[in-house]
Amino acid sequence: MGEPFYITTAIAYPNGKPHIGHAYEWIAADVIARFQRAQGRDVRFQTGTDEHGLKMAQKARELGVTPRQLCDEMTEHFRAMADALNMSYDVFQRTTDEAHYRASQAIWQAMADKGDLYLDRYEGWYSVRDEAFYDESELIAGDDGVKLSPQGTPVEWQVEESWFFRLSKYQKPLLDLYEAHPEFIQPESRRNEVIRFVEGGLRDLSVSRTSFDWGVPVPGSPNHVMYVWVDALTNYLTGLGYPDKTPELEKWWPADIHLIGKDIVRFHTVYWPAFLMSADLPLPKLVFGHGFLLHRGEKMSKSLGNVVDPLELAQTFGVDSLRYFLMREVSFGNDGSYSAEAIVTRCNAELANSFGNLAQRTLSMIFKNMGGALKNELPQNNADVELLGTVGGLISAMQERFAGYDFSGGLDHWMQAVFRCNAYVDEQAPWTLRKTDPARMEAVLMTLFRAVHDLAHAVRPVVPTAIDALLDQMGSAPDARTFAAIDNTGWVSDLIASGFTLSQPTGVFPRLELPADEVA
């Protein structure tokens, strides 16, 4: 097994059903997990739900159910989404699990032991929707002059007894962290925002509430529950068995990446490292704040009626198409937009017409013209060598981009390689060679077979189901589908030695149709 790689998503509030923004984050995390596995890393992938806090309690009251009932019901929708999107997660962590109470109380106790918690009175602004405290200076004016949070959500003035965390004490250590580890906050634009915020001074943070009880009880203060973000962030440790010194904790912590949206970067890059420093725990290596997904350029909201159920989208277009579209269309880190037309156009052009067609043409010509029998050590000419060299170079460039979390850039390299292969097919015209020079036709088709094999492995983290269906047809061993397969030059001879022949191929990337109700 390779070096460990621990990746987490944000844990979503299950106060309603999941939407496409949640799906986007979880798909991206799955692509990273699969990419790292394909590179030989030993991956642990955790996701889950964030079930405490006022927002959950209020929603439950509104619906006339208990918070627990709301969580139990809605969490199942998130779990179903994770499965339907083909997420290869290892742990689905719920913050209402008993083990999570223990972990949260342990980190609380560690912070208390450090002398970083004290009792005082909180007076200030709070946004229930963001579950966040804001300074007066951060607020913006809404249409009718009413005060709103910087995210545009309503805020209310709160006064209550509260435990405080000495966040101010960590200003310098945090700035030192950002300086010593510029890679800690990505992308760069978010890093600059956080540095500016911390340089502006940090106030101590209110970390408990007494006005409601839907949370983790504060050790030794029975009328207080923890501020939801204290327990929420601790989920990343709960799944590893913290506070016990388990082999999992030893092996996987600190996390290699917390993948989250841009709206919650402050919690992950200011509060979380400060809590961990206080509790004497190692800090995560990277926090990546991805952009927001918009619908036709607009924010999604129930009032605009543009909230789409990701499972419906996946059913209409196929999970692989949705995954490919989101990774290809949106420049990772920036906001991006989706629409049914854009999904159909992108997937038909690139998956069905370009790569799907290349694979289908190659396999069916080998099936028809070579009886499905593969050949090895055929004489190659310059065009063949050049094609394989170009494809290899573009795949390496793609992998470099993926390693740096630039998926659209990586897929652009992949498409260039596919275009090169299609141009080669047209130039070499194997259908003509069949009559004029059958030996040359075989060399061309086997060059293409190698290129398709490598391109399939390279894109497998993004579209795993379709690629597995293709690789099954190509005779690739299911347990050898890592990037090592791309570098293994002996695979064709091994396949021939095993007696493999190609059967009549079937396409794996169907052409998508725009549903009638989406046609403009």
> How many Å is the maximal CA-CA distance in the chain?
89
According to the binding rule CB under 6 A, does residue 10 interact with ligand MSP? yes
Amino acid at 441: M
According to the binding rule CB under 6 A, does residue 92 interact with ligand MSP? no
By the 8 A CB rule, do 82 and 92 touch? yes
According to the binding rule CB under 6 A, does residue 24 interact with ligand MSP? yes
The structure tokens 């009559």 sit at: 435
In the complex, least distance from residue 338 CB atom to ligand MSP, rounded to whole angstroms: 10
According to the binding rule CB under 6 A, does residue 22 interact with ligand MSP? yes
Whole-angstrom distance, CA of residue 457 vs CA of residue 67: 45
Residues 6+ apart with CB under 8 A from 396: none
Interface residue with ligand MSP, options 7, 11, 174, 458 (CB under 6 A): 11
Q: Total binding residues for ligand MSP by CB under 6 A?
A: 19
DSSP 424-464: HHHHH-HHHHHHH-HHHHHHHHHHHHHHHHHHHHHHTTTSH
In the complex, least distance from residue 348 CB atom to ligand MSP, rounded to whole angstroms: 24
Whole-angstrom distance, CA of residue 224 vs CA of residue 218: 6
Of 329, 248, 337, the residue nearest 292 (C-alpha): 337
According to the binding rule CB under 6 A, does residue 13 interact with ligand MSP? yes
DSSP 128-184: TTTTEEE-GGG-EE-TTS-EE-TTS-B-EEEEEEEEEE-GGGGHHHHHHHHHH-GGG
Of 396, 372, 454, the residue nearest 421 (C-alpha): 454
Interface residue with ligand MSP, options 67, 187, 215, 261 (CB under 6 A): 261
In the complex, least distance from residue 61 CB atom to ligand MSP, rounded to whole angstroms: 19
In the complex, least distance from residue 198 CB atom to ligand MSP, rounded to whole angstroms: 19
**Closer Cβ to ligand MSP, 72 or 263, answer by number:** 263
In the complex, least distance from residue 31 CB atom to ligand MSP, rounded to whole angstroms: 15
Q: What is the DSSP letter of 54?
A: H
**Closer Cβ to ligand MSP, 298 or 472, answer by number:** 298
Binding mask 29-68 for ligand MSP (x = CB under 6 A): ---------------------x------------------
Tell me the window of 21-29, 187-195, 241-249, 507-515 that interacts with ligand MSP (CB under 6 A).
21-29
Of 309, 271, 247, 50, the residue nearest 317 (C-alpha): 309
Q: What is the DSSP letter of 44?
A: E
In the complex, least distance from residue 280 CB atom to ligand MSP, rounded to whole angstroms: 20
According to the binding rule CB under 6 A, does residue 260 interact with ligand MSP? yes
According to the binding rule CB under 6 A, does residue 309 interact with ligand MSP? no
**Closer Cβ to ligand MSP, 71 or 293, answer by number:** 293
**Three-state SS annotation for 253-290:** CCCCEEEEEHHHHHHHHHHHHHHHHHCCCCCCCCEEEE
In the complex, least distance from residue 265 CB atom to ligand MSP, rounded to whole angstroms: 9
The structure tokens 């069905």 sit at: 352
In the complex, least distance from residue 233 CB atom to ligand MSP, rounded to whole angstroms: 5
Of 367, 377, 476, 349, the residue nearest 430 (C-alpha): 367
- The phi and psi torsions of 287 (rounded to 5 degrees) equal -120, 120
Tell me the window of 139-147, 229-237, 340-348, 406-414 that interacts with ligand MSP (CB under 6 A).
229-237
**Closer Cβ to ligand MSP, 27 or 495, answer by number:** 27
Q: Is the peptide bond before 515 cis (omega within 30 degrees of 0)?
A: no
Binding mask 286-305 for ligand MSP (x = CB under 6 A): ------xx------x-----
Interface residue with ligand MSP, options 60, 202, 264, 425 (CB under 6 A): 264
In the complex, least distance from residue 300 CB atom to ligand MSP, rounded to whole angstroms: 6
Per the rule left: phi > 0, alpha: psi between -120 and 50, beta: everything else, 163 is: beta
The residue at minimum Cβ distance from ligand MSP is 261
- Which 456-515 positions form the footprint of ligand MSP (CB under 6 A)? none
In the complex, least distance from residue 39 CB atom to ligand MSP, rounded to whole angstroms: 25
Interface residue with ligand MSP, options 42, 248, 263, 494 (CB under 6 A): 263
Residues making contact with ligand MSP (CB under 6 A): 10-13, 21-22, 24-25, 50, 232-233, 235, 260-261, 263-264, 292-293, 300
